[in-house]
Amino acid sequence: MYSLLDFDYIAESLLHDLNDLDKIGDKFEVGSMTYNVIVFPSAKNLKKIIHDYLLNSSSNGGKVTIMGETPSLVDITPEPELISKLVAKSEFIPFTYEAFHESLLPFRESILGFVDPKDPLYLLYTRYKGSILYNLREESDGSRWLFKCNTDKVQQRPNALITLKGTWDLTGLDTINGGKFAKSSRAEAIQVTVGQTSSELILAKPVGFTLEDPNPLLLDRAFHKLPDDT
């Protein structure tokens, strides 16, 4: 999907047929798919079976992230003991874009930047990444398919710099003609960390200032008048 994150929706009605509750490990398996993180949106009520799936996953080393409001009911019944067990094993984050991305950063497999041709050391990030469609799939034999596509039909995205986690033997696939070609790459050991930014405005001593232009208040469409008809 966008923002270099990939996800699938999991239907509650299919979990019983596609997932064995007693065999949940550190990864959440649904049919032929395996997931590193389960993200549950804000809700007041949890079905008992969903509570059990989430608790089993988090208790066995899996990551369960609940966004927004903490559930308080299980099958429309207050169950503080059940909820407290889930709370102790899960991560709770605000229902915000920033908190969601920060929570999933350790699981991100790819980073995308764009090199400024005028300054190769300067990377253009936010302005260009919003239109990139992203998908990463891993086959049972360990091979991976990485797909990135610019969905902006007007503005091209040249000079892309793609960073991948781990060791890869790269083969490029041309989606236009179906051909294959070798991709140049460079191996480096890097670590992705979440940085905090802050700013502080300090004024050492008072200074005087004057306005460049007058600061008038223009009432060009008045709706009321004073008692003296002004």
Q: Is 215 part of any domain?
A: no
CA distance 15 to 21: 9
Predicted TM-score (pTM) of this structure: 0.58
pLDDT value of position 222: 56
Give the integer Cα–Cα distance in Å for 152 and 164.
23
Assigned domain for 157 exists: yes
Q: What is the mean pLDDT of residues 85-99?
A: 88
Average pLDDT, the chain: 74
Same domain, 119 and 97: no
**Residue 174 pLDDT > 80:** no
Tell me whether strands 63-67 and 37-40 are parallel, antiparallel or unpaired. parallel
Determine, yes or no, domain membership for 34.
Answer: yes
State which of 18-22, 67-71, 164-168 shows the largest mean pLDDT: 67-71
Contact yes or no for 61/26 (Cβ under 8 A): yes
> CB neighbours (10 Å) of residue 134?
18
Q: Same domain for 97 and 137?
A: no
Co-location of 98 and 165 in the same domain: no
Provide the domain limits for residue 150: 109-182
Q: Which residue has the tokens 């229902």?
A: 95
- Same domain? 133 vs 68: no
Q: Which of 67, 83, 103 is the last residue of a domain?
A: 103
In a domain, 144, yes or no: yes
Write down the pLDDT at residue 152. Answer: 77
Instruction: Looking at the structure, tell me whether residues 135 and 154 fall in a common domain.
Output: yes
Are 125 and 96 found together in one domain?
A: no
Asked if 109 and 164 count as a contact pair (C-beta separation under 8 A), the reply is yes
CATH number at residue 31: 3.50.50
- Determine phi and psi for 116, rounding to 5 degrees: -75, 120
Position 192 scores a pLDDT of: 41
Residues 151 and 80 grouped into a single domain: no
Domain-located, residue 204: no
CB distance 155 to 162 below 8 Å: no
Which among 110-124, 169-183, 185-199, 208-222 has the top mean pLDDT?
169-183
Predicted confidence (pLDDT) per residue in 136-146, tens digit: 888 888 788 88
Residue 143 lies in a domain: yes
Share of the chain above pLDDT 90, in %: 0
Which one of 103, 129, 160 terminates a domain?
103
Summarize the confidence of residues 57-77 as an average pLDDT. 88
Same domain, 90 and 125: no
Q: What is the domain count for the chain?
A: 2
Same domain, 16 and 85: yes
Q: Are residue 6 and residue 96 in the same domain, yes or no? A: yes
The alpha-helical segments, DSSP class H, found in the chain are 12-18, 48-59, 80-89, 97-104, 126-129
Q: Are residues 92 and 118 in the same domain?
A: no
Q: Same domain, yes or no, for 87 and 144?
A: no
Residue at which a domain ends, from 145, 167, 182: 182
